[in-house]
């Protein structure tokens, strides 16, 4: 992820520009709860983002709820059985699990 997102603890948030109102705003990605934030500049936006995450974590603690994380590391991928078989065979040949083979392959593709 480049400079077009904010990161804090286990959370990633967007940076959006509202040119009409001359303000930055955004929301935390990858969770079902809504955490939104805003600021007049990047420093204020980042501060409000971090405060929003902290408030969310405090609220979860108060309610005894496990906080969601922006990205858990789990992705369900549907594919044709033939592709699944091909991946399984390639992973086995390399002495790897399907998960590690896919993670390594995707990592190379995103660099």
In tens, the pLDDT along 46-81 reads 999 999 999 999 999 999 999 998 887 888 889 999
Which of 77, 25, 81, 66 lies closest to 49, judged by CA? Answer: 25
In a domain, 43, yes or no: yes
- Regarding whether 87 and 59 lie in a shared domain, the answer is no
- Regarding whether 102 and 56 lie in a shared domain, the answer is no
Tokens 């204020």 correspond to 44
Q: Domain range holding 106?
A: 81-110
- Regarding whether 85 and 59 lie in a shared domain, the answer is no
- Regarding whether 96 and 47 lie in a shared domain, the answer is no
- Regarding whether 86 and 58 lie in a shared domain, the answer is no
- Regarding whether 19 and 46 lie in a shared domain, the answer is yes
Q: What is the pLDDT of residue 1?
A: 42
**What value, to the nearest 5°, has the Cα angle with vertex 37 and ends 32 and 42?**
130
Domains identified in the chain, total number:
2
Q: What is the pLDDT of residue 3?
A: 61
What average pLDDT does this structure show over 83-94?
A: 93
In a domain, 76, yes or no: no
Q: What is the pLDDT of residue 2?
A: 46
Cα 86 to chain centroid, rounded: 29
- Regarding whether 59 and 9 lie in a shared domain, the answer is yes
Q: Which range has highest mean pLDDT (14-23, 72-81, 96-105)?
A: 14-23
């Amino acid at each position: 992820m480049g400079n077009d997102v904010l990161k804090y603890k286990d959370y990633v948030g967007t940076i959006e520009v509202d040119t009409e109102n001359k303000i930055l705003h955004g929301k935390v990605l990858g969770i079902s709860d809504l955490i939104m934030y805003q600021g007049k500049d990047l420093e204020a936006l980042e501060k409000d983002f971090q405060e929003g995450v902290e408030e969310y974590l405090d609220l979860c603690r108060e309610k005894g709820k496990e906080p969601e994380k922006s990205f858990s590391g789990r992705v369900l991928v549907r594919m044709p059985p033939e592709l699944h078989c091909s991946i399984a065979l390639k992973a086995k040949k390399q002495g790897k699990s399907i998960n590690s083979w896919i993670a390594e392959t995707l990592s190379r593709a995103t660099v």
